[in-house]
């Protein structure tokens, strides 16, 4: 009652302010109320879940939804403020490639989400029955803002709990799985879980555990996405990209420097011309940092030859696409070749109860330059979510789940398994 009165007073104050002394029209107001957060005043909360997904980016969102839909209790911890990662925060809102040689080769949860984002935005989907002259012509242009909201809706529907602004600080092995201590601003969260899915892009949980990772002396440049001169029409137009050489998503210090460098350069361009700054992503898009050393490593020969791994869980398709200080010269795959991703490339070597998905997949640098694209990351994410949920169900580790069960679960959620098409 008291709250209602305060709300009404506030509304009338706002309306008065908008009316001003001239008594003009009232701007329409709308409002929504967030539910109270239990224990909001407590500095630490504890949580018991089946699957902890760290990183709610391109792969992690799909992993969490798949694990949730398979019946696991899932917590998704994301250090940023929204889902989608490179796709939304980085502004790389043109996911690919879901098709190869005239047919769709990656589908399932990620594809459904992308498709719904395009349809709700009244956009256009590519015709996968046509082989384009250039690979990027079959990438899907999406509205990054809409994708974020739809991804949150799908997480909620799958029972996935989201914790933004948090990241793991310490990971300890327990008898039943893991204890993960996460930190957020003004809060700490102690999570007990059976399985971890590391989708941080650079395999940061794998790093915290001291498991082996691979990192190049020189990393591919990142790109800062922005728009000068004309308005950004999300879901329709491409925006400007500035190469940020040396960009590295390894830690907060390297990310800070990349962002400062990118934004400073954009300011310089703005001052040199007469165009207005119309759009600026909040963060650099990072192409490369760490990859895991997995139970197997995908080599560029595996990738170029389209090796069909015996434990393949999804296809991948993109040219070998290494960006250097001189730019990029994509090397298309030979006609008919469609690479695959094995489950063992998602499992950190000699580990149990942890699986990764996304650009940190175990692969050599050139293979990774093609594997890192978004459709493949989504395919890997869905597979990791399925394997983790089944591992919880059987009280085992993802690698010991019968492959057929993983495949069956994935197909039940719309995914395409190598050999299906």
Ligand X SMILES: Cc1cc2nc3c(=O)[nH]c(=O)nc-3n(C[C@H](O)[C@H](O)[C@H](O)COP(=O)(O)OP(=O)(O)OC[C@H]3O[C@@H](n4cnc5c(N)ncnc54)[C@H](O)[C@@H]3O)c2cc1C
Residue 249 or 397: which CB sits closer to ligand X?
249
Q: Which of 346, 358, 344, 338 is nearest to 421 (CA)?
A: 338
Q: Is 56 in the site for ligand X (CB under 6 A)?
A: yes
Residue 70 or 114: which CB sits closer to ligand X?
114
Residue from the set 177, 234, 235, 285 that interacts with ligand X by CB under 6 A: 285
Segment (H or E) for 371: helix 365-371
Using the rule CB under 6 A, give the single segment among 85-93, 98-106, 119-127, 171-179 that binds ligand X: 85-93
Using CB under 6 A as the binding criterion, the count of chain residues that bind ligand X stands at 36
Give the whole-angstrom CA distance, residue 92 versus residue 95: 7
Least distance CB 256 / ligand X (angstroms): 14
Using the rule CB under 6 A, give the single segment among 73-81, 124-132, 148-156, 227-235 that binds ligand X: 73-81
Cβ-contact 389, 285 below 8 angstroms: no
Q: Which of 197, 185, 177, 202 is nearest to 85 (CA)?
A: 202
* Contact code string over 220-259 relative to ligand X, x by CB under 6 A: --xx------------------------------------
Residue 177 or 286: which CB sits closer to ligand X?
286
Q: Is 368 in the site for ligand X (CB under 6 A)?
A: no
Q: Is 261 in the site for ligand X (CB under 6 A)?
A: no
Residue 333 or 400: which CB sits closer to ligand X?
333
Residue from the set 77, 158, 343, 401 that interacts with ligand X by CB under 6 A: 77
3 state SS of 406 = helix
Beta-carbon contacts of 215 under 8 Å, excluding residues fewer than 6 positions away, are 250, 289, 290, 291
Give the whole-angstrom CA distance, residue 421 versus residue 403: 18
Beta-carbon contacts of 368 under 8 Å, excluding residues fewer than 6 positions away, are 288, 291, 298, 359, 361
| Per-position DSSP letters for 219-274, written without gaps between them | PPPEEEEEEESS---TTT---EEEEETT---SSHHHHHHHHHHHHHHHHHHHHHSS
Q: Is 219 in the site for ligand X (CB under 6 A)?
A: no
Give the whole-angstrom CA distance, residue 386 versus residue 277: 43
Residue 181: Cβ within 10 Å count = 14
Using the rule CB under 6 A, give the single segment among 79-87, 100-108, 173-181, 331-339 that binds ligand X: 79-87
Residue 285 or 306: which CB sits closer to ligand X?
285
State the residue for tokens 């434990």.
Answer: 311
Q: Is 298 in the site for ligand X (CB under 6 A)?
A: no
Least distance CB 177 / ligand X (angstroms): 18
Give the residue at shortest CB distance from ligand X.
Answer: 57
Residue from the set 66, 139, 261, 362 that interacts with ligand X by CB under 6 A: 139
Q: Is 286 in the site for ligand X (CB under 6 A)?
A: yes
| Per-position DSSP letters for 153-175, written without gaps between them | HHHHHTT-EEEETEEEEEEEE-S
The encoded tokens of residue 331 equal 């090397």
- Say what angle helices 374-394 and 58-69 make with each other, to 10 degrees: 30
Using the rule CB under 6 A, give the single segment among 51-59, 227-235, 268-276, 413-421 that binds ligand X: 51-59
The encoded tokens of residue 323 equal 């960006």
Residue 84 or 177: which CB sits closer to ligand X?
84
Q: Is 59 in the site for ligand X (CB under 6 A)?
A: yes
Q: Is 92 in the site for ligand X (CB under 6 A)?
A: yes
User: Cα 60 to chain center, whole Å?
Assistant: 5
User: Which DSSP symbol is given to 383?
Assistant: H
Using the rule CB under 6 A, give the single segment among 44-52, 150-158, 283-291, 292-300 that binds ligand X: 283-291
Q: Is 287 in the site for ligand X (CB under 6 A)?
A: yes
Least distance CB 20 / ligand X (angstroms): 43
Least distance CB 98 / ligand X (angstroms): 9
Cβ-contact 53, 60 below 8 angstroms: yes
Q: Is 57 in the site for ligand X (CB under 6 A)?
A: yes
* Contact code string over 381-420 relative to ligand X, x by CB under 6 A: ----------------------------------------
Peptide bond into 97 cis (omega under 30): yes
User: Which residues bind to ligand X, rule: CB under 6 A?
Assistant: 54-60, 77-80, 85-87, 90, 92, 94-96, 139, 167, 199-201, 204, 222-223, 285-287, 358-359, 372-374, 377
């Amino acid at each position: 009652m008291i709250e209602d009165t305060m709300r009404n007073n506030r509304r009338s104050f706002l309306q008065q302010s908008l009316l001003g002394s001239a008594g003009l029209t009232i701007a329409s107001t709308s409002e929504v109320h967030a539910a109270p957060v239990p224990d909001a005043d407590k500095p630490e909360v504890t949580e018991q879940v089946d699957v902890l997904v760290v990183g709610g980016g391109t792969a992690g969102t799909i992993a969490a939804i798949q694990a949730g839909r398979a019946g696991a209790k899932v917590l998704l911890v994301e250090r940023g403020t929204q889902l989608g990662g490179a796709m939304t925060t980085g502004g790389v809102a043109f996911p690919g490639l879901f098709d190869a040689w005239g047919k769709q080769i990656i589908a399932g949860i990620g594809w459904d989400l992308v498709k719904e984002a395009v349809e709700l935005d009244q956009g256009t989907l590519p015709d996968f029955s046509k082989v384009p002259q250039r690979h990027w012509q079959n990438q899907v242009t999406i509205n990054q803002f809409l994708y974020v909201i739809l991804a949150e809706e799908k997480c909620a529907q799958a029972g996935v709990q989201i914790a933004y602004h948090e990241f793991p600080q310490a990971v300890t092995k327990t008898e039943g799985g893991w204890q993960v201590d996460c930190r957020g601003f003004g809060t700490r969260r102690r999570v007990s879980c059976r399985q971890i899915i590391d989708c941080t892009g650079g395999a940061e949980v794998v790093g915290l555990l001291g498991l082996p990772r691979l990192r190049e002396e020189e990393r591919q440049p990142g790109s800062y996405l922005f728009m000068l001169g004309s308005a950004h029409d999300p879901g329709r137009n491409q925006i400007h990209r500035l190469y940020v050489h040396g960009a590295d998503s390894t830690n907060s210090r390297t990310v800070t420097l990349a962002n400062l460098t990118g934004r400073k350069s954009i300011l310089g361009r703005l001052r040199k011309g007469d165009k207005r700054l119309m759009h600026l992503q909040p963060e650099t898009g990072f192409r490369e940092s760490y990859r895991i050393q997995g139970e197997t490593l995908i080599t560029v020969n595996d990738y170029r030859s389209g090796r069909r791994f015996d434990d393949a869980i999804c296809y991948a398709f993109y040219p070998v696409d290494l960006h250097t200080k001189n730019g990029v010269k994509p090397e298309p795959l030979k006609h008919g070749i469609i690479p695959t991703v094995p489950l063992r490339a998602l499992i950190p070597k000699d580990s149990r109860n942890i699986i990764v998905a996304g650009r940190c997949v175990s692969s050599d640098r050139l293979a990774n330059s093609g594997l890192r694209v978004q459709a493949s990351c989504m395919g890997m994410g869905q597979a990791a979510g399925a394997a983790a949920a089944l591992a919880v169900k059987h009280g085992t580790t993802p690698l010991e789940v019968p492959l057929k069960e993983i495949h069956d679960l994935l197909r039940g959620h719309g995914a395409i398994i190598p050999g299906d098409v």
